A and B are shown apart, each in its own frame.
Chain A
Amino acid sequence: MKPAAFEYFAPRTLGEAVGLLNKHADQAKVLAGGQSLVPLMNMRLARPGIIVDINRLTTLDYIVATPAALRIGALTRQRAVEISPLVAERCPLLRDALRLVGHVQIRNRGTIGGSIAHADPAAELCAVLVALGGAVTAQGPRGPRAIAAADLFVTYLTTSLDPREVLTEIRFPTLPPGAGWSWMEIARRHGDFALAGVGVVLAVRAGVIADVRIGLTGVGPTPVRASEAERLLTGRAPSEALWADAAGAVRGAIEPDGDIHASAEYRTHVSGVLAQRALREALTRVREAA
């Protein structure tokens, strides 16, 4: 399991990195944490001729809070985000989802940007970004541009990023004050890819649901925002019966693939179960926050 030969560059500035990508276009791959790319290279499933190692771009390693969002540099290690007090305070959904990304050793090296750009259909971070309606910033030969989460994930392992762009920042909106949240997933073992995962944010005002977000992973080529279920829930009073209805709507919104671990039917069924449990847990947190 040794990779095919490649040329290696370790640029010191973002401009240099983009310049390399621009020059080598389809042949080049960005190396950040390497937790997905390097195994693919070792197995020779990926044979990029050019590796652009961005680990020296330390200016892309930051966690900054604005009133509306957490702005996280693309090179920030997943573990740093997971244990950040700022994240725990402003976007605990992100922290809870991160705890289930692989194992600590992987999170020590893996980056937030890397996970987003890799766009694994069972990735937790992508679903959280979609559920929260976040966005990313990418830098290309013609300068920076912003991409909303809803426009970012195209299909399996594919984003709308141009091969000449480097992801620079990911923006996770802050949870509304007093909101509850929950991340739940089913994985065969701790750290495995989720067979299905659900992230929920719930805000309740005057006894009815004012704001709800439901994002799913592992149930299709890209993360899914369960908008129908969100619409069904908004303005209604929380109840077990309502959660059951929401579960039905979630099931109706997805068409998962089956694989050797779980059939499409299983993933569909379990997505509904997880949605119910997550909504229940989110409501508990709403009440705790009150």
Chain B
Amino acid sequence: MKLDGTNTLAAPVDTVWKMINDPDALRRCTPGLKELKEIGPDSYEATLNIGIAAVKGTYSGTLKITDKQAPRHYKIALEGTGGAGFMRGEGIVDLEAQGDQTVLRWSGDIQIGGLIAGVGQRMLGGVGKMLIGQFFKCLEQSLEASGETGGV
């Protein structure tokens, strides 16, 4: 499943860069993330309880940030397995300054396998996009809340 999108965040590039590398922000904003334990630089053990409505599965696995080109680009990879199957997502994030704001472009390849893929094909794409949207909305709100916006 290939998804992509663009979000404009009301903060300068450096602030956004810091945030998307901050494990606390990741903990707060990644939908369903229950645990994020650092096991190395940019490498975490992750447990997620993710899904929609009653349809939720627990997945445990890893989250890794690679190909860091501060403050504009990185790759984030999340993979986990659980009773309902497995999920693997790889995203490329690019930041571009636009005045006081940042344009964040992301593109991802998400693979869902196992039980949930065989039963949920009708909604997986839509739900996936929605959860990713939730992630960025949360980032936006975190930026506003922290007051670290660039301008008026």
- Which A residues are closer than 8 A to B by beta carbons? 29, 37, 40, 43-48, 118-119, 121-122, 155-158, 193, 221, 257-260
Q: Which of B56, B84, B116, B130 contacts A156 (CB 8 A)?
A: B130
Name the B residues within 8 Å of A156 (CB-CB). 52-53, 123, 126-127, 130
B-side contacts of A155, CB under 8 Å: 52, 130
* A37 and B127 in contact, given A44-B83, A193-B122, A259-B121 (Cβ under 8 angstroms): no
B residues sitting closer than 8 Å to A (CB atoms) are: 51-57, 83-84, 115-116, 119-123, 125-127, 130
Chain B residues within an 8 Å CB radius of A193: 122
Nearest B-chain residue to A158, judged by Cβ: B53
Cα–Cα, bound, A47→B54 (Å) = 8
The 4 closest A-B pairs by CB, nearest first: A157-B53, A46-B54, A257-B126, A45-B55
Counted as pairs of residues, one from A and one from B, with CB atoms less than 8 Å apart, the total is 54
Q: Once the chains are docked, how many angstroms separate the CA of A122 from the CA of B126? A: 13
Q: Tell whether, in the assembled complex, residue B115 and residue A157 are in contact, meaning their CB atoms are under 8 Å apart.
A: no
Bound together, the chains give a CA A148 to CA B127 distance in angstroms of 24
Would you give the shortest CB distance from A186 to chain B, in whole angstroms? 15
Asked if B84 contacts A44 (CB within 8 A), the reply is yes
Query: Within the complex, what minimum Cβ distance (angstroms) separates A31 from chain B?
Result: 11
Q: Which one, B55, B122, B126, contacts A40 given CB within 8 A?
A: B55
CB neighbours (8 Å) of A260 from chain B are 121
Partner of A37, one of B52, B54, B115: B54
How far apart are the CA atoms of A134 and B53 in the complex, in Å? 23
Please determine whether A257 and B119 come into contact, CB atoms closer than 8 angstroms. no
Q: Indicate which residue in A45, A47, A118 contacts B115 across the interface (CB closer than 8 Å).
A: A45
Instruction: Tell me the dominant secondary structure on chain A's binding face.
Output: loop
Contacts of A48 in B (CB 8 A): 54
Contact status A29-B54, CB under 8 Å: yes
Q: Which residue of B lies closest to A117 (CB)?
A: B53
9 residue pairs bridging A and B, Cβ less than 8 Å apart: A44-B84, A45-B120, A48-B54, A157-B53, A157-B123, A158-B53, A221-B130, A257-B123, A258-B125
Taking a contact as CB atoms closer than 8 A, the residue among B52, B54, B57, B122 that contacts A259 in the complex is B122
Task: Give the CA-CA distance A196 to B18 in the complex, in Å.
Answer: 44
Please name all residues of chain A whose beta carbon is closer than 8 Å to the beta carbon of B115 when the two chains form the complex.
43-45
Q: Chain B contacts of A119 at CB under 8 A?
A: 53
Contacts of A158 in B (CB 8 A): 52-53
**Chain B residues whose CB sits within 8 angstroms of the CB of A118 once the complex forms:** 53
Tell me which residues across on chain A come within 8 A of B83, comparing CB atoms.
44
| A residues near B57, Cβ cutoff 8 Å | 45
A221 to B130, CA, bound (A): 9
Question: Shortest CB–CB separation between residue B75 and chain A, in angstroms?
Answer: 27
In the complex, are the beta carbons of A46 and B56 less than 8 A apart? yes
User: Nearest CB to that of B124 among chain A residues?
Assistant: A259
- Min Cβ gap B58→A in Å is 9
Q: How far is the CA of A46 from the CA of B116 in the complex (A)?
A: 11
Contact across chains for A45 and B52 when beta carbons are under 8 A apart: no
Contacts of A157 in B (CB 8 A): 52-55, 123
Cβ-neighbour of A46 out of B55, B122, B126, B127 (below 8 A): B55
Q: How far is the CA of A258 from the CA of B2 in the complex (A)?
A: 13
Measured in the bound complex, the distance between the Cα atoms of B53 and A122 in whole Å is: 16
Q: List A contacts of B116 (CB < 8 A).
A: 45
Asked if B84 contacts A45 (CB within 8 A), the reply is yes
Query: Which residue in chain A gives the minimum CB-CB distance to B133?
Result: A155
Chain A residues, CB < 8 A from B51: 45
CB distance from A220 to the nearest CB of B (A): 8
A221 to B123, CA, bound (A): 8
CA distance A122 to B6 in the complex (A): 28
A178 shortest CB reach to chain B, Å? 39
